[in-house]
Structure 1
Amino acid sequence: MGRLMFLLIFGLTGAGILISLGVWQVQRLAWKEGVLSEIEARIDAAPVALPETVDPEADRYLPVEVSGRFLPGEIHVLVSIKRVGPGFLIIAPFETETGRRILVDRGFVPSDAKAAPRTLGPETVTGNLHWPRETDSYTPDPDLEANTWFAREVPDMAAHLDTDEVLLIARSETDPAIRPIPVDTAGIPNDHLQYAITWFSLAAIWIMMTALFLWRSRAPRQA
């Protein structure tokens, strides 16, 4: 009887822990969906003028409209787009009408268009401020000689192009050769549903294994 009680307590405790982890992930899922909804609403809001001072956290995704002109010189960031293939994001210096220099992510071009001439001069750009987090310990340093970068590291790009540490990701582009890649929430991970399913599945397996052990322990032994 003591053995059966031990198995029952052990099984119920383990199942309770696994179920609680699943419930916690469901709660995290609801929280993350709320965060994503807030971000999407912020991204799609009406654009405002570029603030005098910006904060990488408070102003992330802020919709902004600026008028000015694209300047010569650009950075090419190596990327790959699903169902399109490899290519480059075009990061260009932009001087506003007030004389402020910022970075503008104009969008994507295929690899064979990396060196193609781009339209410059007067432009009004609408987009969202962003400070992407794309680097880790495995990210190579940029190949400055080939003008090939492997991440949009705003401080480094700003230093290279002599601009403020401000990146505006354009929603549209007048140059037909450039495909704009507007900011969205697709790149923000939200795996809580998969985690919840995993924990609940483990709980179900745990309960079935506990029931099996209890049944085998109660079954009469063959002489």
Structure 2
Amino acid sequence: MTNEHPASSTKPKLNFRFLLSGAWIGGFVFCIIFAIATVFLGNWQMDRRMDKLDEINTIVDNYDKQPVSYAEASHVFSDFDEQQKWTPITVRGEYLDEDTLVARNRPRAGRPGFEVLVPFRTDSGDRILVDRGWLPLGVDASAPDSVPAPPEGQTEIIIRAMPGEVSVDRGAPEGQVASINLASIRDQLGYDIADEAYGLMAAESPAPAESPQQMPEPQRDEGPHLSYSMQWFTFGLMSFVVWGWLAYQKAVRNREDEMYGEREEDGFISAHRVERVKPVKRRKGQMTDEEIEDAMLNG
């Protein structure tokens, strides 16, 4: 009949006291710091998505609606609001063709080029800047090969309101600008123009024989910001999951070490105590198998 010790028939409970050690506490603190960083990055991506959605909503609300008269919308160019972006406006007056400028470094569909900027004097005497469209690089790449002239005399145009751009820290050759910064363009022209917004060409009447390429309709795609945000939040959560999994594996290994380290009287030999017995040779030959076994049992 075999006498079985009670401890040998049941597994000890998992012990997580090691989590109070400096290394494991430090690992948990790292998870907290990492999670805070990922939440910040996830919220940043959500903010970018909301900004993009606001822009898409503005496009949907304004881009295709019926043009309003300049008399109703003249304030847009002197007191611009982002909600007025892309608003179509009908303006009557004449181009100041002699003051035409081109904006450099304006890519379109992967091709570098220029945008043609012409001041427009309205019937009310105001001056606004009109972006008539896009031209590709010329032969020498420093300017367009030619700039199509706008209609002469009295002209009716439909433009979409756009905010002026920030100034950039680089120069441009004569007759060109580095950005559509309206204050800088006003100083370059030497007379007042509306300095909060400009007009992006939609139509001209009478239509000229040749004109720059019209700018494409803005995209209504919110981009990958939502998926990026979810990824950052997931990374933060996974840091705690990995820390917990490592802690569980450590506790399991500790329990196994405790089980296999029980006393020999319980029917186990500690894995840490098993030693290789070095046989001792007799004077007249090697030990027999029985002698080797006796030496192992006797320690």
Q: TM-score of the superposition, structure 2-length normalised?
A: 0.59
* Cα offset, 1:89, TM superposition: 0.3
Q: CA RMSD in A?
A: 3.5
Question: Residues 110, 20 of structure 1: CA spacing in aligned structure 2 closer, same or farther, 3 A cutoff?
Answer: closer
Kindly provide the CA deviation profile for residues 161-194 of structure 1, in whole angstroms up to 9, marking residues without a partner as x.
33422411112454444112167367x9866325
* Cα offset, 1:126, TM superposition: 1.2
* Cα offset, 1:3, TM superposition: 3.3
Instruction: Pick one of 65, 68, 78 that aligns with 1:45.
Output: 65
User: Which position in structure 2 is the counterpart of 1:103?
Assistant: 129
1:159 and 1:191 map into 2 onto residues whose CA distance is 40
User: Which position in structure 1 is the counterpart of 2:180?
Assistant: 152
Q: TM-score of the superposition, structure 1-length normalised?
A: 0.76
Question: Residues 30, 152 of structure 1: CA spacing in aligned structure 2 closer, same or farther, 3 A cutoff?
Answer: closer
* Cα offset, 1:42, TM superposition: 2.5
SS at match of 1:203: helix
Question: Residues 14, 209 of structure 1: CA spacing in aligned structure 2 closer, same or farther, 3 A cutoff?
Answer: farther
2:44 and 2:122 map into 1 onto residues whose CA distance is 45
Kindly provide the CA deviation profile for residues 86-119 of structure 1, in whole angstroms up to 9, marking residues without a partner as x.
2210000112222322110001011224434413
Give the conservation status (yes or no) of the 8 Å contact 2:42–2:230: no
Matched, 1:4 2:15: no
Question: Residues 11, 103 of structure 1: CA spacing in aligned structure 2 closer, same or farther, 3 A cutoff?
Answer: closer
The one-letter amino acid of 1:57's match is D
Higher relative contact order (CA 8 A, sep 6+): 1
Instruction: Pick one of 193, 204, 211 that aligns with 1:164.
Output: 193
User: Which position in structure 2 is the counterpart of 1:143?
Assistant: 173
User: Which position in structure 2 is the counterpart of 1:63?
Assistant: 88
Structure index of larger Rg: 2
User: Which position in structure 1 is the counterpart of 2:141?
Assistant: none
1:2 and 1:179 map into 2 onto residues whose CA distance is 72
SS at match of 1:67: strand
User: Which position in structure 2 is the counterpart of 1:119?
Assistant: 150
Give the conservation status (yes or no) of the 8 Å contact 1:91–1:104: yes
Structure 1 gap segments, 5+ residues each: none
User: Which position in structure 1 is the counterpart of 2:215?
Assistant: 181
SS at match of 1:37: helix
Give the conservation status (yes or no) of the 8 Å contact 2:67–2:88: yes
1:213 and 1:35 map into 2 onto residues whose CA distance is 44
1:169 and 1:10 map into 2 onto residues whose CA distance is 53
Structure 2 gap segments, 5+ residues each: 1-15, 139-143, 258-270, 273-299
The correspondence of residues 191-210 of structure 1 with structure 2, limited to 5 A, is: 192-210=225-243
User: Which position in structure 1 is the counterpart of 2:113?
Assistant: 87
* Cα offset, 1:15, TM superposition: 7.7
Question: Residues 48, 119 of structure 1: CA spacing in aligned structure 2 closer, same or farther, 3 A cutoff?
Answer: same
| Count, aligned residues | 218
SS at match of 1:124: strand
Give the conservation status (yes or no) of the 8 Å contact 2:131–2:199: yes
1:157 and 1:202 map into 2 onto residues whose CA distance is 47
